[in-house]
Amino acid sequence: MKEEIRRILEKSSRGGADTLMPVLQEIQAIEGYLSPEIISEVSKYMGIAENRIYSIASFYDQFSFVPRGRKHIRVCSGTACHVNGSEAVVQEINKQLGIKAGQKTKDGWFSLEVVQCMGACSLGPVVEINGKHYDHINPEKIRNIIVALREEGEEI
């Protein structure tokens, strides 16, 4: 475990459950995501069950359980989006980027997360990239979005 993470956890163990959110925020800022190993350490240090930590953290968009790329793609796989073709969108992303859900491209530019309902069911399939929402997405639209985002990466 990184020294700075250990310091955060040691400090937090005295603060009780009230300090869980700031602790997770600090760790997310350092690591970029909350890995299963980190959740386990937080659980041990703070005396809070792992499933409780997951259920709290998964409520907030700011936390991720997978490594994030510069462009973090979240695809909704809730019922309405699924019925309208979200699986085909995920498959197109798999094909275009060579990554599956929970993975990051080798250049660190893209990552993919498949999530449950994002609260915009009538607009599905819904995709969110770095906080920007795209609705009525299909394989062709996501292909064009990825091409545009790739060009952004090439300009940097």
Piece in contact with ligand FES (CB under 6 A), picked from 13-21, 31-39, 58-66, 111-119: 111-119
Residue 107 C-beta: closest distance to ligand FES, Å: 29
* Token pair listed for 54: 């997951």
120 binds ligand FES (CB under 6 A): yes
Beta bridge partners, 73, equal 112, 129
Surface-to-core class of residue 34, CB atoms within 10 Å of its CB (0-12 exposed, 13-18 middle, 19+ buried): buried
The residue with its CB nearest to ligand FES is 78
DSSP, collapsed to helix, strand or coil, labels residue 76 as strand
Note whether 115 binds ligand FES by CB under 6 A.
no
* Cα–Cα distance, 80 to 63 (Å, whole number): 24
The one among 23, 53, 66, 81 contacting ligand FES by CB under 6 A: 81
Q: How far is the CB of 76 from ligand FES (least distance, A)?
A: 3
Buried b / exposed e across 4-23, counting CB within 10 Å, b at 16+? ebeebbeebeeeeeebbeeb
CA angle 60, 65, 67 (to 5 degrees): 125
Among 79, 91, 130, 144, binds ligand FES (CB under 6 A): 79
In the complex, least distance from residue 75 CB atom to ligand FES, rounded to whole angstroms: 9
Applying CB under 6 A, which part among 8-16, 40-48, 63-71, 73-81 lies near ligand FES? 73-81
Binding site for ligand FES (CB under 6 A): 76, 78-81, 117-121, 124, 126
